[in-house]
């Protein structure tokens, strides 16, 4: 059995708000890669609930956050397709992504 690790390093301001986020995954060749936001979820199978950590830097632009969310939803659609294979659920998330993209593209 092999063990590996992924690390997340945060630089916080005096109010504990992230100013910088870096992550590393040595087995994947990634070291101290800068990021402006992360969404991390873990499944607790005993409690049947998701444990989440959502962080973004205070310098994350709103338009980038909207795009990040859209990309996350699209990634979830792909995960549903691969892990569950339920085309009805995939189509439901796809429809949502189409509508989400329309709304974030609208000018206020």
Is the sign of the CA dihedral 81, 85, 89, 94 positive or negative?
A: positive
Residue ranges of the chain whose pLDDT lies below 50: none
> What are 73-80's contacts with CB under 8 Å, separation 24+?
73/97, 73/100
Report the predicted TM-score, pTM, of the whole model to 2 decimal places.
0.87
Interval 18-33: pLDDT, tens? 999 999 999 999 999 9
pLDDT of residue 14: 97
Separation CA 11–CA 3 (nearest Å) = 27
């Amino acid at each position: 059995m092999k063990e590996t690790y992924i690390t997340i390093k945060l630089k916080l301001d005096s109010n504990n708000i992230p100013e910088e986020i870096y992550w590393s995954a040595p087995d994947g060749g990634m070291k101290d890669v800068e990021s402006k936001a992360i969404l991390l979820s873990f499944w607790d199978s005993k409690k049947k609930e998701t444990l989440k950590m959502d962080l973004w830097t205070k310098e994350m632009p709103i338009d980038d956050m909207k795009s990040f969310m859209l990309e996350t939803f699209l990634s979830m659609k792909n995960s549903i397709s691969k892990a569950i294979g339920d085309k009805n659920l995939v189509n439901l998330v796809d429809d949502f992504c189409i509508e989400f993209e329309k709304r974030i593209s609208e000018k206020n």
